[in-house]
Structure 1
Amino acid sequence: MRLDHVRRLSGPNVFLPRPVVIARLDLQGLTGHETTDHPGFAERLVDALPGLASHHCSAGRPGGLLDAMARGTYFGHVTEHVTLELSGLIGREVYFGRTVRAGGPGDYEVILECPRDEPTGSPVVERLITLALRIVGGALAGRVPDPSADLARVAAVHEEERLGVSTSALARAARRRGVPVRRVGALNLLRLGYGRYRRTVWAAMTDATSAIGMEIAGDKRLAHRVLADAGIPVPEGRVVASAAQALEALRDIGGPVVVKPLSGHQGEGVHIELCTPPEVVAAFAAAAGDGGTGGDGAEVIVESYIPGRDYRVLVVGGRVSAAAELTAACVTGDGTATVAELVERVNADPARGEGHDRPLTRLALGPTELALLARRGHGPRTVPADGERVWLRRNANLSTGGTSRDVTDGVHPDVADMCVRAAAMVGMDVCGIDLRLPDIGAPPPADHGAAGILEVNAAPGLRMHLAPHEGTGRDVAGDVIDLMYPAGTPSRIPVVSVTGTNGKTTTVRMIAHALELDGRRTGLTSTEGVYVGRRVVHVSDASGPRSAEMVLGDRSVEVAVLETARGGVVRRGLGYDRADVAVVTNITRDHLGVDGTESLDDLIDIKALVAEEVRRGGHLVLNAEDPPVAALADRPAVRDRDPVLRYFALSPAAPVLAEHLRNGGVGYCVEHGWLTEARGADLTRILPAADVGGSFDGHAEHVVADALAACAAARALGVPVDVLARALRTFDPHTRNPGRGCVYQVGSTPVLVDYAHNAAAVAAVGAFVERRWGAGGVAAVTLPGDRPDDLVIETARALAGTFDRVVVYEDEDLRGRRSGEMTRLIVQGLREGRPGVRTHPMGDLKGALTSALDIAEPGEPVLLLYEKLPPVVELLDTLGAAGGLSGEPVGGRSDTTITDSSARTTTPSSQ
């Protein structure tokens, strides 16, 4: 078997609302083989990975996979389960897997769940699949593979790139509260919320953490001075820059003392309870980091040693969130095991890991630990007495192997007040207070030498409180999130997601225009680029998840309107979760044969994701006249969201819409020439259909349909009727919707520029041309080459239904086609659609438009279909084209008298 490639869907997708990877496998020589064709294979595989025996598979019970292999199953399916088992063995908790055929007989796609916050570029899953293939291959060859060495290497990569304990807890706490979470790259940096409510947090440091507070906390002596000035007890101490000064401090302060780096962290370089000059000199050298020479230069703190117990108090938002008593790294003898064996035994606890990746840190026997053991008469091979506690460190710090005991409920109010005051004086919203005193449950002793705050820690670790070695874990991560998003504070802006085969770009532009006129700063993604507040910020085909994330990460955006195209959904998933309004314009045959999309049903499943990912109780806008779209309301995943259905249709008699209105639902249609909002039998007129910008007196019915969809979405977000009417009336296609239904005047010839590139879109444009000009005209066309031959021919046939003279040209991007191939297919389709059609092959855009203008009779329209808009605009400019239609306003206006509706009309509502 061979792994061809892996792609990651980072957002909600057609398989899961969580990230997945899709691995393409080529079974090669195992094509057509099943597990029963290889006696002993299943037994050897389970011997190598015993956990496979408990896999449920489709049986829904432990042992399901064993049964499947006994009956006979294919090897892509086996590889899926082996990969899931390997993931679990390295602590990568994922459970979903599926294997499906793809392409040729031996081609399979294995879909595997991924951890939510695994970096996008992580190599872990690819290495796990590669290892799974080797294990399966080994079992097929008659061996019982041992994956331990290879798996350990993958586990090391996973440990290095996974979120730290604190950051992971913050991500979970945010998601429990419904706050969107995105990890930034491979960092422990989280982006929370959407748009104007976006916040960031890095471990326990929030975007509101004071930079000055960070500086004060990072300078231990400055922090002590700030606290002492406020009357908060701190150890007596001084900063020294030489061994001689350290000895002078020892004489002045009196022993015992503590020697530590001025700006150290995680307990490194801290030496406790020193009384003699040699101890202080050695400690100074270690704290100064000069390799033990005792030289001058580095700054070190020498301060009085406060006896008592070590505590860490976490202060979040001006209150004590949790408190823990800390115990330094140690082992307890049993009378038989050596110190080294006891350390190994403690480190076997899965809760212990390297650095901050686990609730506890592994014990070490490094120089610091060995030196302390030697001073106490021990070594690695010493056998401590039963019950004897052997200290490996003097400073109580989790980073050096210490443990914690939760004492939150026992903190004395006076101690809590002291810690809260300390955090306020330093200026920290979240901080960890290290203090020593006899008992945290009693008032601090009046003698400042008997109690004191040792350090104020910025970005404090949370793991000692989340999972203490003893006592109750505390939801301190939730407290940090609640500080950032107090009760009642939103974390999301309204999100509108629009999908469909045709009309997406026009619809999102109409919605965004209405929202901007309503005074809301809008972020818009479309096939032409990303816009924020009507200004383009990124030019590209921006209808995928990266563009959505760009808008949702912009702190100036108040509402997001996202064009959501098929390609982005298939290749990367959605760029958001839980839209407030989901719109599906229509679903027709297009993009078949691309990205594994083989049928209309496949397209429906892809587009349905937008409807299924609407928030519970949100709004779902569906085209009542498009059966596949209307049927989305009955999908189980959509019904589970219980959205407010808002149907639209050109005709109020459309059966789905009519039934919906009879049941008291909300719908949008053209009633007696007016765009109308219907709530059951109550009607609210919005504006005449003929007044919709770009509809050309209502002749462009597909534009009117897009306007109805936009009405439904805008009204769902509370845009008032009068504002919505003004937005649609001023929707000038040249400025608001370039490249979609724009008419230019070249001499006496109107040139209609449109992006139609499938049969349904071409038919709609053709119908518009016939209604507006009374007949067809000349077309200059290109079509995208990444469609199957039958769809290209079908689109050309639809084109021939309106146009009897067609100039065919090829786009610069052939999308994998040979030169001349698309021209041949288009001409074939045109002739199938209209045997007498006159075709004129041309080499490029300029030649095609020039030829079409020459062929057209005076006043006869020319349709120009394009692939890239900028060259079209540039060419029209060189031809002296003007926007508008023979002097009338662009898009046209109607003076038609509108007959009043016989139904009762209500006063416009803001809902």
Structure 2
Amino acid sequence: MTKKNDIKLLRINYLRGPNIWTYRSVLEVWLDLGELEDFPSNKLPGFNERLTAWLPALIEHHCGVGERGGFLQRLQEGTWCGHVLEHIVIELLNLAGMATGFGQTRSTSQRGVYRMVFRARDEQVARVALQQGHALIMAAIHDEPFDVKAAVELVREQIDDCYLGPSTAAIVNAATDRGIPHIRLNEGNLVQLGYGAAQRRIWTAETDKTSAIAEGIAGNKDLTKTLLKACGVPVPEGEVVDSPEAAWDAAEDIGVPVVVKPLDGNHGRGVSLELTERADIEAAYKVAEAEGSDVIVERFIPGDEHRVLVVGGKLVAAARGESLWIVGNGRDKVTKLIDDQLNSDPRRGEAEEFPLETIVLEREPTMRLLLERQGLNGESVPAEGHRVLVQRNGNVAIDCTDDVHPDVAYQCGLAARAVGLDIAGIDLVVQDISKPLAPQRGAIVEVNAGPGLLMHLKPAEGLPRPVGKAIADHLFDETETGRVPIVGVAGSVGTSHIARLIAWLLHLGGRHVGLACRDGLFLGTRRVEGKDRANFAAGQRLLMNREVNAVVLENGAASILNDGLAYDRCTVGVVTDLLGAEPPVAPALAEHDIREPEQMFKVLRTQIDVVLSEGVGVLNAAHPQLVEMAELCDGEVILYDVDHASPVLAAHRAKGGRTVAVEGHHLVLAHNGQMAVRCADLDSAAARRLVAAGESGVGVSWLLAAVSAAWALGISPELISAGIETFDPTPKQ
């Protein structure tokens, strides 16, 4: 077969918010198949066989058939290469550990050109997966070699670089399960949960409730012990030292065996246990000194190390550590025995998803010192059957939450409160955590700010614990959703005026409103930017503003097509018209192949799709297609039109719905079974001025839309009337 031209990737666009495809972020790719438009999969010799040999798990893809093997059936029947590329990219993401199921491919008005989308939690990861998928499909078409394993590894590396760490992800996922939205604030693990004034922030397992003073105290082990001891929490006696000789003197005063560790270290680095000899103690001082500014010598406490997670003063998870041993065979060196007997454990690895770390002696001075105390090093060959201790502390990954004695839980909670941490990792040493600390001389040895959660999420043994949920519930009580009222206004004409009047009415109701529209960016009544700000970026800025307790956003069709909506759900969604696709079509829409009102319907329905179940959709009943959009709304629907006696409005009221219309010279708010309320006199000078200020041909319609949204937000008819009388349609800088 003659070699075909490559599939061209014409345009790649990352849709960050809800969009015409799905509620979630996706990567949208415009493809030109070129001559491959005439060659579906069943007309490419050997293509299907090569593809399924490289990606055998494609058999799990249901595709439109709706059952296992569905996509393979489509391959055999003949499907176009854009659709095949969609499934290749999804499978590469699955193989890289980022399970993805959503994808669609649709033709455009131009022959051979398609729009292909797939679920994309991160833009850079999605772009790498697309790049590798594109290379793979062309190799399969041209019968050229392709390294699938290397492609998957490239995607996996990008995932490791870009995705949230496991601790942060656990908290975000728990918040999402409760319907609490989130915004990632940097490329790391700083995340905002909730919107505007209702938000909280996390950075891994630290929150905006975490005191900087408490974090500073936790970093100073000696000060921490002083505070804990004052509260009656059992701690080991200890002394800060400044030299190897002072370390030995302190050990003699305390009584051997002792522990030598850095004063401000963490993760068990530089900690040496159960030391009795002067040489060992002085050597341990040098190891600890390399990790922190000062060194502390403490009484050695017999028992196992435990890590207890305390959230909001309560114990929510506990894990136990264990000592690590290798057994000699008379042939292999210590380093090889460690690899064969310890690092071969599938729970060990370098990436964050592994609960246990790979042991590398070159980077573990404490382990090397422990081996030296046994007369060994990494090159030694232990005799057959000889047991060698490799690690005394750390390796905390065995869940023991259900075994914790109430006294131990109380002491850990008290320790966290004494330091002042809302979330704390409490390290304690005890022989049996199911018994009180004091009788067995157990003690709390450290209190840590920003503790890792992986040991509780993926324990090496035992049950995983819902620690992410515990932290999310700590930040938001059961009545809180992390949301502020959000109003989205979508359409083609009059939408900027509508958004500004809604914001004004919210302001009169006592809200500190953020507004982004074509007239600029507003905070309260102050316009802080005068350019067109009806876009995703401006909306996100308002949602991140901690002073804002209500947000109004204008969403044009082009903005939805380019970026998606700035929010996941809204309280009120307004759609005014479908006129943007009528001739002459705006260039911003033409480039998205939007040329018919039916296509505009699919774009603007996005605004109604995201209305909360307790929210309200506001639709212009003068457009029959918009009335059809009502069935897509999860919440209530308010219809508006100029004629109060309109059959559509009357039918809506008969079903128990609310309407806003004009009767005589007044705006009328009507609800079935209730007396209609007149809220504004359209003959007043202010009302006439507002009607005249609207865009050509809109008339009073834009006022009806704004009043409908205000009513949906619970603003009283009296305040609505006052707002219409006082609203200035000309924005001021």
How far did 1:467 drift? 2.5
- 1:458-607 to structure 2, matched below 5 A, reads 458-588=449-579, 589=582, 590-591=585-586, 592-607=589-604
In 2, the alpha carbon distance for the partners of 1:476 and 1:367 equals 30
Asked if 1:92 corresponds to 2:92, the answer is no
What does residue range 330-479 of structure 1 map to in structure 2 within 5 Å? 340=336, 343=339, 351-354=347-350, 356-366=352-362, 368=364, 369=367, 372=370, 376=374, 391-396=389-394, 402-446=395-439, 450-479=441-470
Further displaced range: 353-362 or 669-678:
353-362
What SS does structure 2 have at the residue aligned with 1:441?
coil
Rate the CA distance shift 1:32–1:336 in 2: closer, same or farther, 3 A.
Answer: farther
Would you say 1:37 and 2:43 are equivalent positions?
yes
C-alpha contact (below 8 Å) 2:328/2:337 kept by paired residues: no
Cα distance change of structure 1 residues 74 and 490 upon mapping to structure 2, 3 Å threshold: closer
Are positions 1:674 and 2:666 aligned together?
yes
Find the aligned partners of 1:532 and 1:389 in 2 and give their Cα distance. Answer: 69
Secondary structure (helix, strand or coil) at the match of 1:327 reads coil
- Corresponding residue for residue 719 of structure 2: 723
Deviation at 1:556, TM superposition (A): 1.6
**Alignment check: 8 A CA contact 1:332 1:342 kept:** no
Name which one, 1 or 2, has greater alpha-carbon Rg: 1
Alpha-carbon shift at residue 362 of structure 1 (Å): 3.3
Does 1:651 pair with 2:643? yes
What CA deviation, in whole Å up to 9, does each residue of 1:248-285 have, x standing for no partner?
22332232222222211112222222222222222222
Decide whether aligned partners of structure 1 residues 493 and 137 sit closer, same or farther in structure 2, where only a CA change above 3 A counts.
Answer: same
The Cα of 1:331 is off from its aligned counterpart by 6.2
Shift of 1:330: 5.3
Contact 1:311 1:434 in 2 (8 A): yes
Q: How far apart in 2 are the matches of 1:108 and 1:335?
A: 65
Cα distance, 1:419 vs. partner? 1.1
Which residue identity is paired with 1:531?
F
Deviations 1:564-608 (A, max 9, x none): 111221111111122111111112124341333232222111111
Match of 1:306 in 2: 301
Correspondence for 2:4: none
C-alpha spacing 1:111/1:490, structure 2 compared with 1 (3 Å):
closer
- Following superposition, the deviation at residue 511 of structure 1 comes to 1.0
Between the aligned partners of 2:576 and 2:639, the Cα distance in structure 1 is: 10
* Aligned residue number for residue 733 of structure 1: 729
Which runs of no fewer than 5 residues in structure 2 stay unpaired? 1-6
The question of 1:67 aligning with 2:73 is answered yes
Quote the Cα distance in structure 1 between the aligned partners of 2:414 and 2:89.
52
Query: CA separation of 1:426/1:697 partners in 2, compared to 1, >3 Å: closer, same or farther?
Result: closer
Alpha carbons of 1:349 and 1:552: their partners in 2 closer, same or farther (altered >3 Å)? farther
How many Å separate the matches in 1 of 2:8 and 2:702?
47
The C-alpha deviation readout for 1:867-890, integer Å capped at 9, x for no partner, is xxxxxxxxxxxxxxxxxxxxxxxx
Q: Separation in 2 of the partners of 1:418 and 1:33? A: 71
Query: Does the alignment pair 1:172 with 2:170?
Result: no
SS at match of 2:688: coil
Q: Tell me which residue corresponds to 1:206.
A: 207
RMSD: 2.7
Within a 5 Å distance, the mapping from 1:483-882 to structure 2 comes to 483-588=474-579, 589=582, 590-591=585-586, 592-634=589-631, 637-638=632-633, 641=634, 643-680=635-672, 682-691=675-684, 693=686, 695-696=688-689, 702-735=698-731
Once the 2 structures are TM-superposed, how far is the Cα of residue 403 of structure 1 from its aligned partner?
4.3
Q: What one-letter code is carried by the residue in structure 1 that aligns with 2:603?
A: I
Taking structure 1 as reference, are residues 34 and 734 closer, same or farther at Cα in structure 2, changes over 3 Å only?
closer
How far is the alpha carbon of 1:220 from its aligned partner? 1.2
The 1:142/1:419 distance shift into structure 2, 3 A limit, reads same
Contact 1:165–1:358 under 8 Å retained in 2: no
With over 3 angstroms needed to count, the CA separation of the structure-2 counterparts of 1:568 and 1:222, relative to structure 1, is: same
**2:691–2:703: 8 Å Cα contact kept in structure 1?**
no
Question: In structure 2, do the counterparts of structure 1 residues 26 and 728 end up closer, same or farther at CA, with 3 Å as the change threshold?
Answer: same
Alignment of 1:24 with 2:30, yes or no, is: yes
Take 2:555 and 2:663, find their aligned partners in 1: how far apart are those partners? 30
- Rounded to whole Å, the distance in 2 between the matches of 1:382 and 1:691 is 98
Please say if residues 15 and 25 of structure 2, whose CA atoms lie closer than 8 Å, have aligned partners that are also in contact: yes
Task: Name the SS for the 1:95 alignment partner.
Answer: coil
| Deviation of the 1:390 alpha carbon | 5.7
Cα distance change, pair 612–347 in 1 and its aligned pair in 2 (3 A): farther
Q: Which runs of 5+ in 1 are unaligned?
A: 291-296, 397-401, 739-911
In the alignment, the residues of structure 2 paired with residue 383 and residue 624 of structure 1 have an alpha-carbon distance, to the nearest angstrom, of 85
Q: Counterpart of 2:411 in 1: which secondary structure?
A: helix
- Whether the aligned pair in 2 keeps the contact of 1:694 and 1:732 (CA below 8 Å) is no
8 Å contact 2:326–2:341 — kept in the other structure? no
Counterpart in 2 of 1:773? none
Higher RCO, Cα 8 Å, sep 6+: 2
Residue in structure 2 matched with residue 142 of structure 1 by the alignment: 143
Q: Sort the Cα spacing of 1:499 and 1:244 in 2 relative to 1 into closer, same or farther, 3 A.
A: same
Alpha carbons 1:675, 1:708 under 8 Å: kept: yes
Is the 2:17–2:563 Cα contact (8 Å) retained in structure 1? Answer: yes
1:104 Cα deviation from its structure 2 partner? 4.3
TM-superposed CA distance for 1:55, in Å, is 1.9
Q: Matched residues in 2 for 1:89 and 1:329: separation?
A: 33
Deviates more, 1:670-679 or 1:685-694: 685-694
Query: Displacement, 1:54?
Result: 2.3
Q: Is the 8 A contact 2:333 2:380 kept in 1?
A: yes
Aligned residue type for 2:519:
E
- TM-score normalised over the length of structure 1: 0.74
Q: In 1, distance between residues paired with 2:529 and 2:325?
A: 57
CA 1:33–1:419 in 2, change beyond 3 Å: closer, same or farther? same
Q: Deviations over 1:783-821 (max 9, x none)?
A: xxxxxxxxxxxxxxxxxxxxxxxxxxxxxxxxxxxxxxx
Cα distance change of structure 1 residues 240 and 649 upon mapping to structure 2, 3 Å threshold:
same
8 Å Cα contact 1:217/1:456 also seen in 2: yes
CA–CA distance in structure 2, aligned partners of residues 23 and 561 of structure 1: 30
Q: Which residue identity lines up with residue 680 of structure 1 in the other structure?
A: N
SS of residue paired to 1:17: coil
Distance 2:416 2:318 in 1: 14
> In 2 relative to 1, CA 94–697 (structure 1 residues): closer, same or farther, beyond 3 Å?
closer
Bigger shift: residues 548-557 or 138-147:
138-147
- Provide the rounded CA distance (Å) in 1 between the counterparts of 2:126 and 2:348: 24
Shift, 1:289, TM fit: 1.8
Q: Secondary structure at the match of 1:733?
A: coil
User: 1:137, 1:714 → 2: CA distance?
Assistant: 55
Q: CA deviation at 1:166?
A: 0.7
- SS of 2:642 mapped into structure 1: coil
User: Among 93, 104, 109, which residue is 2:115 paired with?
Assistant: 109
**Rounded Cα–Cα distance in structure 1 between residues aligned with 2:53 and 2:328:** 37
- Matches of 1:334 and 1:713, distance apart in 2: 78
CA distance in 2, matches of 1:55, 1:378: 52
